[in-house]
Structure 1
């Protein structure tokens, strides 16, 4: 019997808990493979972010689990000292620890991710990197294994992670059966960058750089080579490169490509053909757009449009 502890706390996301638990329940199939206990700093009730209440079976004191599941919240969870102490104590005693979505912030706060690779929801990956510089953040991964510590991307990626745990414990055949039963991918194609819909750029301190950024975002299909952008800004290409590196942490050409990808994403979900999206966003050809999508999003434009254009009701 594999003992699983599900950490429950006020404000946790219900699907972060329910998704992995349902995977393990299906894998158990009444054969005693997994025993799941809801655990918290103390017994009682917690209220999830959606308002649904959940009963805590056991207080954390003295508990040891083969797997500890740590769900996230709507945004980075508040690092309550009692909750962090609970995570640290349970995580140190567990055979393995798995965080779903922003649950990675709790692991990082407890020191369990120091020196390890980890991921979290794409919207908060940079926040995790800034708050916990000892963590090597992998923003595009659906889940990351670093020794006995696992972290996953946003919300439903907890199902992907739980399937991986089942495969580690009982092999791919059982994991595949569970995936079929739940009507989900055994391995979801592409990374989580395909779900990101906004290129968030911090305000540029230098007015020169702000002018360049505005020009690119206003007209992604324009002539935005390094030379032309530097000429328009009245600086040398070397100086403009330095500004991009210092203030944005990326190259000028990288910023242009990301801006064009975002423009192409909007065009595709609005119904544009791949050819039209490629031309209007500045990529010029279908093949150039396809290579950029594979490089940045891990999927081709046609697949992206099918996944995000409509639910097909």
Structure 2
């Protein structure tokens, strides 16, 4: 009986350039390399302008396998554009032109972090949802209003286009691509070898600082906002705030919408959540004390608001961001099988999950 031919490895082209974020390139490459330990699944190559080596954000030199301009569009399975803390680099005319040339023939198009800017500049995200690092989401939305930017998801899939948040989220996305190609078991084994979650709980909003409040020149409204910031646990009901500003409640609500783009109650909750988050990161107070001092009231109210805003519970947030957990950590036995392995997939609804 003739031997069945093995499928050819999928060709993955990672686009890099001077100033590229090192982990945006090598993180996904390492995921594909570890997946290849279970079979000959991927042929991943780094492509740069002119085939020249590039200098990354770490100052390290990264070798190129191919010249971007010499690549044939046919035969590319996955075209992945890495990012940079300087997103202007992703708007380079040659880079955008080459990405736009190669993308239509690729089975799927991927960006890590600000690599999204290159895809958007090439018109590949028009009318689509896309993710990027929370720090650059506003700039992406302003520059490319035709793109629906998701600033909270670790990664987003829209058709054959995948985009992720910054840096380490490229590993999350690469694992999702492996699962999409080869199934959950291969992806799970890859995650175990890398000692990472197959899918992390929560979105990237848990990592960002709430800085979206613009400068407000209306003096009475400014006094209201300052009062909330100075005493978040105080009485900041709509009647109390309206009286403080000597406005009607209706006029106060209009000013909040006009200047802040939110309702008064939403603003107060956001301030209180920021206070609670800072307390969880730096203090040892109980959750009930955090809830009371931040103005959220009860531990249950704190938990619900925290999960809604940041995608994780207050206790889980404290354990992740207070310490790395290295001290006193028991290293798991990675030879175990099945449900004994302490790596798990958290069900996620919506576009953050690969369908």
Is the shorter-chain TM-score for this pair beyond 0.5, marking a shared fold?
Answer: yes
> 1:41 corresponds to which residue?
49
Q: Secondary structure at the match of 2:53?
A: strand
Distance in structure 1 (CA, Å) of the matches to 2:259 and 2:96: 33
Please give the TM-score of this superposition, normalised by the length of structure 1: 0.96
1:198 and 2:207 aligned? no
Q: Secondary structure at the match of 1:263?
A: helix
> 1:84 corresponds to which residue?
96
Distance in structure 1 (CA, Å) of the matches to 2:279 and 2:209: 12
> 1:66 corresponds to which residue?
77
Which of 222, 233, 246 pairs up with 2:234? 222
Q: CA deviation at 1:137?
A: 1.1
> 1:154 corresponds to which residue?
166
1:234 and 2:259 aligned? no
Q: Secondary structure at the match of 2:142?
A: helix
> 1:114 corresponds to which residue?
126
> 1:288 corresponds to which residue?
301
Aligned length: 313
- CA, structure 1 residues 56+257, in 2 after alignment: closer, same or farther (shift >3 Å)? same
Q: CA deviation at 1:112?
A: 1.0
Please give the TM-score of this superposition, normalised by the length of structure 2: 0.85
Distance in structure 1 (CA, Å) of the matches to 2:124 and 2:238: 42
| Range with bigger deviation, 156-165 or 128-137 | 128-137
**Alignment gaps of 5+ in structure 1:** none
1:96 and 2:108 aligned? yes
Q: CA deviation at 1:248?
A: 1.8
In the TM superposition, what whole-angstrom CA distance separates every residue of 1:15-72 from its partner, at most 9, and x where no partner exists?
A: 0111111000111127321001111232111111111111222122343311011111
Distance in structure 1 (CA, Å) of the matches to 2:49 and 2:101: 10
> 1:244 corresponds to which residue?
256
- CA, structure 1 residues 169+59, in 2 after alignment: closer, same or farther (shift >3 Å)? same
> 2:3 corresponds to which residue?
none
Contact 2:31 2:174 in 1 (8 A): yes
Q: CA deviation at 1:75?
A: 4.1
Q: CA deviation at 1:284?
A: 1.1
Which of 131, 137, 140 pairs up with 1:125? 137
Distance in structure 2 (CA, Å) of the matches to 1:292 and 1:33: 43
Contact 2:303 2:313 in 1 (8 A): yes
In the TM superposition, what whole-angstrom CA distance separates every residue of 1:266-308 from its partner, at most 9, and x where no partner exists?
A: 1111222111110110011101101101111111111111011
Which of 26, 34, 51 pairs up with 2:34? 26
Contact 2:38 2:186 in 1 (8 A): no
Distance in structure 1 (CA, Å) of the matches to 2:105 and 2:229: 50
Off by >6 Å, runs of 4+ in structure 1: none
Q: Secondary structure at the match of 1:56?
A: coil
